[in-house]
């Protein structure tokens, strides 16, 4: 399908009806985007573009939508491995106007974020040093793109913290899927906050928050999987997840990308693998329209025989899905 106007890594996407809003992200480690591109599923064109606020983060965002307003939570401003912000915003997708919301109690990097029962829930992520997993869970009552409360409320912490997870609400239940502990950090003393690799653990854990505000541990994913914040769609009482990253190679310690399409069946709470992508890729931005599953953007592998990450892409692909 038509390639996105720019390549992007660690961006975010929200689908509203036939439009996929694709937010910011890295163009490369030294350059970040500060705009939204819009893909129209009806005519399969990139049909819109508008800027984000200057003081909004560029990558590792938390994001949720009520079908008109998109809520954007914290994330990392700037390139390389700068620290996160606590700033939050709401976008009216009809007027394209932005508004500020109360900041988080503390900055967070790639927190799991979702709108659930009228409240904006922000869960986990990494703390200010970009590495230490956060287990904090905060919520804010919102309506029509505005905060009804002046400050965030504390909620029950998630059993395992960390960034880069899928966070999905279906049938009054909130699911947090996959993720990791640890991440790249800024090299000490680097004036450009140059990224430096640290030990990280990718996991397959799946948690569900029910109406009694208690976390339950569900069947884990078929393999550990991270970098899937925007890599999911809800389809026929199941959650589909596209790509990601898994545990590093045991000998070389290099990152390994994921090329499978996973399905989590919400009736049986079991996982299956339903297909493969054209290549292994992380931080995909997924959507579904009229029988077609789409993904765009991310960082792909070095080739069929090398699962390590290399090129940041903006390609858009689709496949017919029959479940």
C-alpha 11/C-alpha 60 separation (Å) is 7
* pLDDT of 259 strictly over 90: yes
pLDDT of 289 reads 98
Shortest CA distance to 22 belongs to which of 9, 303, 177, 30? Answer: 9
Mean pLDDT on 128-154: 97
pLDDT of 231 reads 98
| Domains of the chain (ranges, CATH numbers) | 12-320 (2.120.10.80)
Cβ(99)–Cβ(89) below 8 Å:
yes
C-alpha 200/C-alpha 294 separation (Å) is 29
Shortest CA distance to 231 belongs to which of 297, 187, 291? Answer: 297
pLDDT of 308 reads 96
Write the pLDDT tens digit of every residue in 268-315: 999 999 999 999 999 999 999 999 999 999 999 999 999 999 999 999
* pLDDT of 137 strictly over 80: yes
Q: 286: exposed, middle or buried (C-beta count within 10 Å: 0-12, 13-18, 19+)?
A: buried
Tokens standing for residue 310: 């290399």
pLDDT-derived band at 158, boundaries 50, 70, 90: very high
Tokens standing for residue 31: 């350059």
C-alpha 16/C-alpha 20 separation (Å) is 6
pTM, whole model, 2 decimals?
A: 0.97
Q: 256: exposed, middle or buried (C-beta count within 10 Å: 0-12, 13-18, 19+)?
A: buried
* pLDDT of 156 strictly over 80: yes
**Widest CA span of the chain, in angstroms?**
52
C-alpha 302/C-alpha 251 separation (Å) is 18
All residues at 6 or more sequence positions from 217 whose CB lies less than 8 Å from its CB, including other chains: 159, 205, 206, 207
Cβ(280)–Cβ(300) below 8 Å:
yes
Write the pLDDT tens digit of every residue in 77-109: 999 999 999 999 999 999 999 999 999 999 999
Q: 223: exposed, middle or buried (C-beta count within 10 Å: 0-12, 13-18, 19+)?
A: middle
pLDDT-derived band at 249, boundaries 50, 70, 90: confident
Helix (H, G, I), strand (E, B) or coil at 316: strand
* pLDDT of 323 strictly over 80: no
């Amino acid at each position: 399908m038509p390639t996105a106007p720019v390549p992007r890594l660690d961006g975010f996407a929200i689908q509203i009806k036939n439009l996929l809003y694709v937010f910011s992200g890295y163009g490369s480690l030294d350059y970040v985007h500060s705009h939204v591109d819009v893909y129209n599923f009806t005519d399969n064109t990139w049909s819109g573009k508008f800027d984000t606020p200057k003081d909004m983060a560029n990558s590792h965002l938390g994001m949720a939508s009520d079908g008109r307003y998109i809520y954007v939570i914290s994330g990392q401003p700037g390139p390389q491995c700068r620290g996160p912000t606590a700033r939050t915003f709401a976008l009216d997708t009809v007027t394209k106007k932005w508004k500020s919301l109360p900041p988080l109690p503390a900055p967070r990097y790639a927190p799991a974020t979702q709108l659930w029962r009228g409240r904006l829930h922000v869960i986990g992520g990494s703390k200010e040093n970009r590495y230490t997993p956060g287990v904090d869970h905060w919520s804010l009552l919102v309506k029509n793109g505005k905060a009804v409360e002046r400050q965030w409320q504390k909620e029950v912490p998630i059993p395992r913290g960390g960034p880069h997870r899928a966070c999905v609400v279906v049938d009054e239940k909130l699911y947090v899927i996959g993720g990791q502990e640890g991440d790249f950090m800024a090299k000490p003393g680097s004036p450009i906050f140059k990224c430096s690799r640290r030990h990280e653990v990718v996991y397959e854990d799946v948690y569900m928050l029910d109406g009694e505000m208690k976390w339950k541990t569900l069947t884990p994913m078929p393999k550990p999987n991270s970098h899937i914040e925007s890599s999911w769609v809800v389809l026929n009482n199941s959650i589909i997840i596209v790509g990601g990253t898994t545990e590093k190679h045991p000998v070389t310690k290099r990152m390994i990308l994921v090329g499978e399409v996973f399905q989590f069946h919400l009736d049986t709470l079991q996982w299956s693998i339903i297909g493969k992508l054209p290549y292994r890729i992380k931080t995909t931005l997924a959507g579904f329209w009229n029988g077609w599953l789409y993904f765009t953007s991310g960082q792909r592998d070095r080739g069929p025989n090398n699962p390590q990450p290399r090129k940041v892409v903006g390609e858009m692909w689709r496949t017919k899905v029959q479940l």
